[in-house]
A and B are shown apart, each in its own frame.
Chain A
Amino acid sequence: MTLQNLLFFVSLYAMLAMSLNIPLGYTGVISLAQAAYYGLGAYTAALLSGAMSAAGTTIPFFPDFLLCALAAAMVAGVFATVTGAFLLRLRGDHFVMVTLAFGEFVRSILASSSFTGGNLGVRGIPSIDIAGHVVSHGWPAVALAAVAALGTYWLCGRIERSRFGLSLRAVRDDDVVAHVTGHWPNWVRLRALVVGAAIAGLAGALVAPYYGYIDPSFFGLSEAVLVLTMVALGGAGERRGAVVGACVTIILSFSVSWLPVPAAAAGSLRQLFLAATILVIVRLRPKGLAGSSRQVNP
């Protein structure tokens, strides 16, 4: 595990945590489906870039990776629209449970469909080329991920200060008052969910060429739980919290892999370490490390 890896994953997960923070932190919609949107984005980018490089077609003046990224964001957004339209009728804990089921549903479909390669996943994902340079591996990939994370940070800042962000927080803090003042709560929640899912889809398009292969186990419940705990640990409701949570979690899990333990136990040990941290932080600072005094009322 190198510094390069560490920086890439910090950027990637900061992006994912910020994407979940839009529905969760700003709007108060707790979702465990973020890994499914992320995975759908990754699969879209992987399958589309594979098909395009196999067919040898390119669109003039429009780079392939941009097309894949757009497609990934769109597929994730469409899925979020469909699921949100049905599931947002549920509140609180019931919504959490049904998004958990949706995430596992997507994973089990990805794992059993032959179109997505079943449990083996997609292999040989083409790398991203910009002007003849490979930017999906090594330091260029870190730079690309950092640019994407900074872009997300900027976008979240714009959202926080916009009218849209105001209506998100209004729905979170008191949806009856928000409704009375002209914000239809479920429409606002749906938009937050879709924007968050689209950003998660972009993160998927970033990670697929970096790994070179993907399989359904990358996008299961543990991934959704990881992203959710990042937001909660850092403090839901502000972009800063999501970034802090992602940094702390990734650095913690990397530090376990530097410990002298057998490789077979390293995965479980990392999980245990994370779980212990979660429990300690949630007991000592229930609002997160960078948490503000604002309330999150799902």
Chain B
Amino acid sequence: MHIDFLLDLVLIGLTSGCLYSLVALGYSIVYGVVGVINFSHGEVYAFGAYVGYVSIVMLGLPLPLAFLLSAVSTGCLALMAERLLFRPLSSGQNLSLLVAHIGLSVAIRSVLALVWGERFRTYRTPNAVSEVLRVGGVALSLHHLLVLAATALLGLGLWALLSHSRFGRALRAVSQGRDAAAAKGLPVVGTIAGAYALGGFLAGAAGVLAGHLTELTPQMGVLMGVKAFTASVLGGIGRPWGAVVGGLVVGVLEALVGGLVGGAFREAFVFGLLAVVLLAFPRGIMAPRSGDRGRWSQK
């Protein structure tokens, strides 16, 4: 076993882990604020990837513009879904909320399949050569660098938003106690909508980045949803920074299993990992020992 091979695997894992982190943030932020799992989140990510496909491949827009367009459109999609479906149903049974999420997921998947068909799509043109940067024995393609850099930027922006803005403070307050936040005059309903929109924005960003690494299919959101959810639970669902760490861990573990055991076991590994994580670490690997509600605590 050559050490460079392992390093390559870790690097590939970190890159896909960045995407898992971005999507997992959506699960975590929404769970932190509302306390429910956002089951249709994977499909929001897939929608973002296809918006990126339209703007990059079909319209030929420059990358930053395409990036912004798709992240904003998924943010709006999440906002609309929250307003029209999740908010009216949030006071009722859990089952109807779940069914609404399922209906939305199936709707997004089938619209993607109707418009673009089931076949694989990719952002790359056939004759484009992706530049490769060599650091020691490790090869880094420009696509990987792009994903790493964009995730770092988004993470920085998110940190600024959560810890230094009015919205971030409201988000934290609502997640720590909805009634107390309302008593203090914070716009609770708007903050919840904002949490969905922020999650959608990050998922759309992940979608555009994913288009540079893998092929797009209408079904791409399902597996991503499971992996990102695993990541968010691993980091302690409700904690944004836990989701980031969880995503990177899931990405690296998955790449190592895929490279060392065999690609066929990658999917089964992720599903098994989710069960193990939920049963053994239901509050995440970084949970404090006691006195924590598993939500978003800033101590």
Contacts and interface: CB of A to CB of B under 8 A. Distances in A.
Contacts of B278: 90, 94, 97-98
B106 A225 contact: yes
B94 A298 contact: yes
Contacts of A101: 226, 270-271, 274-275
A104 B106 contact: no
A6 interface: no
B93 A279 contact: no
Interface string B82-98: 00110011001111101
A105 B85 contact: no
A236 B226 CA distance: 26
A298 B93 CA distance: 9
User: Of A100, A102, A298, which is in contact with the most chain B CB atoms at under 10 Å from its CB?
Assistant: A100
Nearest to A225: B102
A101 B276 CA distance: 11
Given A108-B267, A275-B107, A296 B95 contact: yes
Interface string B12-36: 0000000000000000000000001
Given A104-B226, A275-B106, A286-B92, A96 B37 contact: yes
B285 to A, nearest CB: 16
Nearest to A104: B271
A252 interface: no
Interface string A15-57: 0000000001000001000000000000000000000000000
B110 interface: yes
A282 B97 CA distance: 8
A229 interface: yes
B1 interface: no
A109 interface: yes
Nearest to B113: A268
Q: Give the interface size bracket for B toward A.
A: 35 or more
Contacts of A169: none
Interface string B192-210: 0000000000000000000
B279 interface: yes
Contacts of A109: 268
B296 interface: no
Nearest to A24: B95
A264 interface: yes
B168 interface: no
Contacts of B109: 271
A271 B106 contact: yes
Nearest to B267: A108
A279 B282 contact: no
Contacts of A236: 95
A268 B110 CA distance: 5
B88 A283 contact: yes
Interface SS of chain A: helix
A94 B39 CA distance: 11
Contacts of A98: 274-275, 278
B95 A112 contact: no
A287 interface: yes
A162 interface: no
A87 B271 CA distance: 13
Contacts of B265: 112
Nearest to B229: A97
B21 to A, nearest CB: 18
A86 B275 contact: yes
A140 to B, nearest CB: 34
A111 to B, nearest CB: 9
Interface in B203-244: 218, 222, 226, 229, 233
B169 to A, nearest CB: 27
B103 interface: yes
Contacts of B80: none
Interface string A82-101: 00001101101110111011
Nearest to B264: A112
Contacts of B106: 222, 225, 271-272, 274-275, 278
Contact of A296 (B85, B93, B233, B270): B93
A205 to B, nearest CB: 26
Interface string B259-299: 00000110110111011001100100000000000000000
A295 interface: yes
Contacts of A97: 37, 39, 226, 229, 274, 278
9 contacts: A87-B279, A94-B282, A97-B226, A98-B274, A272-B107, A274-B106, A279-B107, A296-B93, A297-B93
Which 7 residue pairs across A and B have the least CB separation, nearest first? A278-B103, A275-B107, A271-B110, A105-B271, A268-B113, A272-B110, A275-B106
Interface of A: 24, 30, 86-87, 89-90, 92-94, 96-98, 100-102, 104-105, 108-109, 112, 221-222, 225, 228-229, 232-233, 236, 264-265, 267-269, 271-272, 274-276, 278-279, 282-283, 286-287, 295-298
Given A90-B278, A279-B85, A298-B94, 8 more contacts: A93-B36, A97-B229, A102-B271, A102-B275, A104-B271, A105-B271, A229-B103, A283-B100
